[in-house]
Amino acid sequence: MKISIIGAGYAGLSSALLLSRHHVNRITVYDRFDRVQTIGAGILIQPSAIEILKRLGLYEQLIDRGEKVYHLEGINHRRRQVFLTSYDDYSPNSFGIGIHRSLLFQSLYDKCKIQSNITFELSREITSLADLQLTNDLVIIASGSHSKLRDQVPIKQTYQPYPYGCLWTTIEDNEISRHRLCQYLRYSQEMFGILPSGLNHNSKRIVSVFWSLPTRLKATYSLENVLERMKYYLDDTHSDFFEKLKRANYSFAVYGDVYMQRYDHENLVFIGDAAHAMSPQLGQGANMALIDSYFLDKSLREHNDDVRIALQMYTHVRRRHLRFYSQASKFLTPLYQSDRQIYGRFRDLLFTISKQIKFSRRMSSEILCGKRISWIRNKEIQY
Ligand SMILES: Cc1cc2nc3c(=O)[nH]c(=O)nc-3n(C[C@H](O)[C@H](O)[C@H](O)COP(=O)(O)OP(=O)(O)OC[C@H]3O[C@@H](n4cnc5c(N)ncnc54)[C@H](O)[C@@H]3O)c2cc1C
């Protein structure tokens, strides 16, 4: 099969790698950048995507270079614990892995480069799907959340930018937030996250730091005020860490919400953020991109004589899982990032009560793990 993949992010590279295992496939990956790279902070890889990375032969590297995360802890401005979500409420010995996104990305890229049936065409921005659609058996659109290519297919869709984004940086530090993702919260107005992110290129332990900010303040916020507020949350034992925060360079990340009624059209298929971007609050975006590529490959293998049927099956198989996480993200994000204090108060009350209840602790842990597909029924994705 002749296959074109638009976008060399997690979704594009993992699809290329899986599809290259069938030697009859000839794959071209296009990216608008001249070097395949990813910038940004650390990400949290959930058990749902760890399974895919195992199948891609990347688990050892993930373990070597990442840091196991066992808990997600929320502490409010009164220094009270609002929630503690533990992976072992889902299953004993479960964990997430915090890793710098460029390390995981590089591992995927290195594996793709040694496959003789994958070709990269870099510095190639694809502006029209029509030609590729005619000259390929299959076109995979993995061009990220801001992709304009969605407009070229007759599929009901929406794109909504979020009113909140975040400042982020990465810091070398050996002590802070070991094996836990820590979030400091003041209602839904302030959120200060510290995510262990494994080792950097110099083999030093790093953490990623996130500070939530409304996008309307992107040009006018005062870093001095932000640092003052960060200092408030860190107790005196972390004064060294605070000094590093003062010297760090910060970037601003914005994100949006993408909805598509279906992901396939004829021999085209949308995957990853291009198909279903969501707020990073639940830490699922890269995980979903990896899971998409697995199910796309699986559908194509099961219906190898008919691409269109395979893509329709792909939409069918992915829809429930993706809808569930889009809904969860829409429900949860305003509880963390909103101008309305009441949302944050509601969250603190809800989570303080639910952390006492075994059933809801397990449900939170299942959602975090990335496998759940229903609010009511205790069902998971099956690989
Ligand atoms: C602050 C922040 C924190 C996050 N934390 C987490 C986390 O902890 N866990 C998690 O799972 N996810 C997290 N995410 C989300 C995650 O980063 C994304 O979901 C993931 O990177 C999506 O991968 P993708 O391959 O679909 O798209 P992208 O990584 O956006 O890749 C798209 C690629 O397509 C290329 N491209 C675009 N248009 C074209 C074109 N027309 N022609 C050619 N090439 C094109 C781009 O150059 C890019 O290389 C976070 C996101 C943010 C912003």
pLDDT tens-place string over residues 235-249: 888 999 999 999 999
Averaged pLDDT for residues 176-183:
97
For a mutational test of ligand 1's pocket, the pick from 143, 263, 336, i.e. the residue with the most ligand atoms closer than 8 A to its C-beta, is 143
State the burial class of residue 84 (Cβ atoms within 10 Å of its Cβ: 0-12, 13-18, 19+).
Answer: middle
16-65 pLDDT, tens digit per residue, is 999 999 999 999 999 999 877 667 899 999 999 999 999 999 999 999 99
Residue 281 reports pLDDT greater than 90: no
109 Cα–ligand 1 center, Å: 15
Kindly list the domain boundaries of the chain, sorted by start residue: 2-161+255-369
pLDDT value of position 304: 84
116-146 pLDDT, tens digit per residue, is 999 999 999 999 999 999 999 999 999 999 9
Averaged pLDDT for residues 357-373:
94
Averaged pLDDT for residues 303-323:
96
DSSP 357: -
Residue 301 reports pLDDT greater than 80: yes
CB distance 150 to 257 below 8 Å: no
If you search the block for the tokens 């972390």, which residue do you land on?
238
Rounded distance, CA 370 to CA 368, Å?
5
Percent of the chain with pLDDT over 90: 95
Is the distance from the beta carbon of residue 96 to the nearest atom of ligand 1 less than 6 Å? no
161 Cα–ligand 1 center, Å: 15
Architecture of the CATH domain 2-161+255-369: 3-Layer(bba) Sandwich (3.50)
Residue 338 reports pLDDT greater than 90: yes
> What's the chain's average pLDDT?
95
In this structure, the residue with its CA closest to atom 9 of ligand 1 is 283
pLDDT value of position 38: 67
Q: Bridge partners of 123?
A: none
The beta-strand segments (E) located in the chain are 2-6, 26-30, 42-45, 67-69, 71-76, 81-86, 96-100, 118-121, 138-141, 157-161, 164-172, 180-186, 190-199, 205-214, 251-253, 256-260, 264-265, 268-270
Is the distance from the beta carbon of residue 142 to the nearest atom of ligand 1 less than 6 Å? yes
